Structure 1
Amino acid sequence: MRQLPTIHSRQRSPTVPTNQSIETASPSKLRDVEILHGGRAVAVVATLILGILAFQLNASMLTPALPAIGEEFGADGAGLGQVSSLLFLSGAVAGLVLGRWSDFFGRRRMAILILAIVIVGTLMCIVAPNLPVLLVGRVLQGAGSASFPLAYVTLSERMAPKVFGTTLGVITAVNGGVGGLDGYFGGLLAETWGFRSIFVVILIVAVIALIASVVVLPKDVRAASAGAMDWWGALILSIALISLTYFVSEGSNQGWFSPLPLLFLAVAVGAFVVFWKVEQRKTTPLIAVHHLKSRQVWPVVLTTTLTLASVFAVINFTVVLLSQNTDFGYGLDAATAALRYLLPPAIIGVLAAPFAGWFAAKFGWLKAVRIGMVLSIAAVATIALLPTEQGIVLACIALLGISYNGFLLTTANGLGVILSPPEAPSALPGINGAGFGIGVGLGIGIVAPFAGNGTIEGIQTALFISLGITILAFIASMFIKGRPGVKL
């Protein structure tokens, strides 16, 4: 992400001087911080990756151990569902609140605080005598999700523009897990030593990340934002986010027009209206209303949400059901289906994300996101038209590893950093991160009734719905606009 130093630094005025030429976008940087190079830059990136892994392993390694947890604690399906859902819900709120708080509290101090919370939560999970204690631990572990926006903003402030895109891609690649193998090793640990051994591994990673953060991360020079944290705005927006999340999850289970989902939707809308009113009166709001209305913010969040709602559902839900169906699908067992259709895009994404970041920084972020969109549309359309052709579907899934896991996820994170308001550099990355979780739940909730009805027609309908959402994401991306004087 290339930047115009005199415009996208911590200035308050959005106007462009008459003698200022238009340049390409770059990371936002505090004027008085040290830009890192060489071995020190590598050490900082490695430390940020460790912090992210402390959360990501919580998200991916535990899935194979859910049956063992249910057996030990006597939990039913609903209880087990909370083991994962509470982690992601807590993570969405933490990314929004803790990320923005780091603008006032400091990046290094926030990284240390996040990891300390994760360690406490992990210890609770290790010694948990029952499911409620385990769930409290999972909520605390969710704080680790704030490591993502924190890492993105730290890179934008501390890395040279020519390496920022590539390092952002490396961080994004970790978001997909360790090449898709972490879930496999989580299963091995659970089978050999029990599910608590997974938390022991996560604890070790978190402790190493904490020590590295104390030793390696550069000390905070000063706050990135003036004023004080908007805790009321954070609370109200968190209520809106939690309610919207439960609307999506309950709507997919009970029906979108059932009383409980509609109640959650009403609370979400009401909370957002209150948030809008409150933010207009704040001196240092969570994110100013005029930014929310701008083409630097809402199209980015909408593009991210719709992209996750479309492509994630194709790779991680519809194709999974298709590959395991014995009537009209491929008749594969769960392990083989995962190795054939989940592992390849994960590995390809790990390789493609750093290249996507380099490409975006060199040739333009909007060009990169639209290339990813067009390739994803082509891949999803082909799968929808030819769902029973295993070889073609596999090739398209591999293409999505490049276009979605590589280009789209990297550019979504990058645009969140570039276009966040200068006076609130962590605001848009936090809100954009919440869009990831909402998009995943929304996409699966919409296609599940069709993909799960046990017919090839249902599978195709689900795929065409996902295709339509991908096209809407592309349309939303066309509304993204750089700040005055900054070319994306």
Structure 2
Amino acid sequence: MPIAPTPTLPGAAPTRLHGPRVALLVGALIVAVLAFQLNASLLTPAIPAMAVDLHASTGVVSQVQSLFFLSGSVLGMVVSRWSDTIGRRRALLVTMGALLAGTVLTVTASSLPLLLTGRVLQGTSSAAMTIAFLVLSEELTAKQFGVSVGVVTAVNGGLGGLDGYIGGAVTDAFGWRAVFVVILVVAVLGTLSVIAFVPRVRRSAARRMDWLGASVLGAFLVGFSQFVSEVPSRGLADPVTTIWLAVAVVAAVAFVLVERRVEQPLIAVPALRARTAWPVLMCTFLTLSGVFASTNFTVVVLSQDGREGFGLNAAMSGLLFLTPTAIAGLLTAPAAGWIAQRIGWVRSLRLATGAILVISIALAFLALDKWVTFGLLIAMGVFYLGLYQATANGLSVLNAPADAPGSLPGIHGACFGLGAGTGVALVGPAVSAGTPEGYHLALWVSVALTTAAFAAALVLRPTPNALPAGARPEGAMTA
């Protein structure tokens, strides 16, 4: 049976869940988030089989991933903010409904356009992560929230770095459509869990969705993402690249103008300009740019370089340099939220970004040593996949404007995809040179990005909800 909404009195502090209801709620959100994560991590090994079956090139079929992440950045942001209007539970059901429809379409797709349409619908599921954190912040105490954020973040890391291997094994045994069947089963379980255990979360009936602001911000996200993806192959001077850059710039200016004029903006310009908001977004964008470029691109290419690198095959490269990192993050993330709640969320973010910077510098100096790199990437898993991601996700909720709680988490979620794509675009030319100097240059670019991320963390200020336990003033999130 669905859990009834938690009643509250006007002016009273909201009642928090306790006992088994906490575990049931967290479990339901974990399954919903896992349905999104499997969409992101299981598909890559299946792309060659899709290309053969659909009579298309591998490069064209790879759009199943790029379109998923792009639509996730836009639609995830929109649905997260919309949840302030329609309620968290209803927004989660919208998210899961789009995921189910998209997954059925991908399982039955007879052509590439239908497959890509399904992937766009599946991208909506990225909102599950941010809405999950909003639900946790509204239903749990501060202590429960800290621990639960870490647990959900750990699930977002996937299946311990073995996702690609599992996706490949399922494809080899049953075909690429079977991967989507696995996703469909998890999505059904996630939907039923949301129906059964997520309360009808309190919301303000006076809020309206700023669809114009969301559309303009979506145009910026699309323009910037496409600009970043086109730069490595076309260069800055190409007309297509220039057009996408112009779209991003015009949309950014238009967004500021729109948000200053609408009665209930997607996020008020003064709130976005505050040191409690924009540094969170910049820190995640820059951290993702630097870390993803170094660990998921530069080191992976270096490890498979038979002349200047380690000469590993793709499977061994992933097993040695990606899986241990993911496992380290999976084991660390559950404790990360508890640490942030104890020492303060901003302090925890600074600790994580400082450690990431030190590890990035060490990689830039020592990446040509295979086993040193192996150890450094495990440390990166602890501080980036574990401590940083849990802290940044929680902080985007705790530092959000009170009149638009879904705004900052939604935009923050979009920064993950934007950052990863930007980092690869920036280091791609250096890595493609295939020389020791090129690899080192790429890693130093990552150092520059993580340095800027650390600077953003130093500028960041906490709201009362993000202060250490015991230091929160009356009216802040209860302990």
TM-score by length of 2: 0.93
Whether 2:451 is the aligned partner of 1:460: answer no
Matched with 2:114 is 133
Is this contact kept in 2: 1:66–1:80, CA < 8 A?
yes
Whole-Å Cα distance in 1 between the matches of residues 307 and 204 of structure 2? Answer: 58
Whole-Å Cα distance in 2 between the matches of residues 46 and 478 of structure 1? Answer: 34
Cα deviation code 1:233-253 (max 9, x no counterpart) = 111110111111101111122
Gaps spanning 5+ residues in structure 1: where? 1-10, 12-29
Cα deviation code 1:303-350 (max 9, x no counterpart) = 010000001111100000111111121111110110000000101101
Residue pairs, 1:233-272, within 5 angstroms? 233-272=213-252
The CA deviation at 1:225 is: 6.5
- 2:20 pairs with 25, 33, 39, which one? 39
Is this contact kept in 2: 1:279–1:288, CA < 8 A?
yes
Matched with 1:366 is 346
Whole-Å Cα distance in 2 between the matches of residues 350 and 419 of structure 1? Answer: 25
The CA deviation at 1:486 is: 6.7
Identity %: 44
Residue pairs, 1:73-112, within 5 angstroms? 73-112=54-93
- 1:208 pairs with 186, 189, 197, which one? 189
Matched with 1:352 is 332
Matched with 1:19 is none
Is this contact kept in 1: 2:232–2:428, CA < 8 A?
yes
The CA deviation at 1:78 is: 3.2
Moved segments of 4+, more than 4 Å: 30-33
Whole-Å Cα distance in 1 between the matches of residues 179 and 107 of structure 2? Answer: 9
Is this contact kept in 2: 1:60–1:177, CA < 8 A?
yes
Whole-Å Cα distance in 1 between the matches of residues 360 and 456 of structure 2? Answer: 18
Residue pairs, 1:366-405, within 5 angstroms? 366-405=346-385
Whole-Å Cα distance in 1 between the matches of residues 315 and 359 of structure 2? Answer: 24
Whole-Å Cα distance in 2 between the matches of residues 225 and 435 of structure 1? Answer: 29
The CA deviation at 1:391 is: 1.4
Give the letter for the 1:290 counterpart. Answer: P
Pair 1:356–1:485, CA change in 2 (3 A): closer
Whole-Å Cα distance in 1 between the matches of residues 204 and 32 of structure 2? Answer: 21
Whole-Å Cα distance in 2 between the matches of residues 242 and 225 of structure 1? Answer: 31
Matched with 2:262 is 282
Whole-Å Cα distance in 2 between the matches of residues 121 and 485 of structure 1? Answer: 37
RMSD: 1.6
Is this contact kept in 2: 1:349–1:401, CA < 8 A?
yes
- 1:184 pairs with 165, 168, 176, which one? 165
- 1:163 pairs with 120, 137, 144, which one? 144
- Stretch deviating more after TM superposition (254-263 or 242-251): 254-263
The CA deviation at 1:487 is: 3.7
Gaps spanning 5+ residues in structure 2: where? 1-9, 469-479
Is this contact kept in 1: 2:133–2:393, CA < 8 A?
yes
The CA deviation at 1:256 is: 2.6
Give the letter for the 1:417 counterpart. Answer: V
Pair 1:176–1:384, CA change in 2 (3 A): same
- 1:302 pairs with 274, 282, 286, which one? 282
Matched with 1:196 is 177
Give the letter for the 1:360 counterpart. Answer: A
Is this contact kept in 1: 2:308–2:434, CA < 8 A?
no
Matched with 2:311 is 331
Whole-Å Cα distance in 2 between the matches of residues 174 and 197 of structure 1? Answer: 22
Whole-Å Cα distance in 2 between the matches of residues 160 and 483 of structure 1? Answer: 16
Matched with 2:396 is 416
Is this contact kept in 1: 2:399–2:465, CA < 8 A?
no
TM-score by length of 1: 0.92
Whole-Å Cα distance in 2 between the matches of residues 225 and 237 of structure 1? Answer: 24
Whole-Å Cα distance in 2 between the matches of residues 31 and 415 of structure 1? Answer: 24
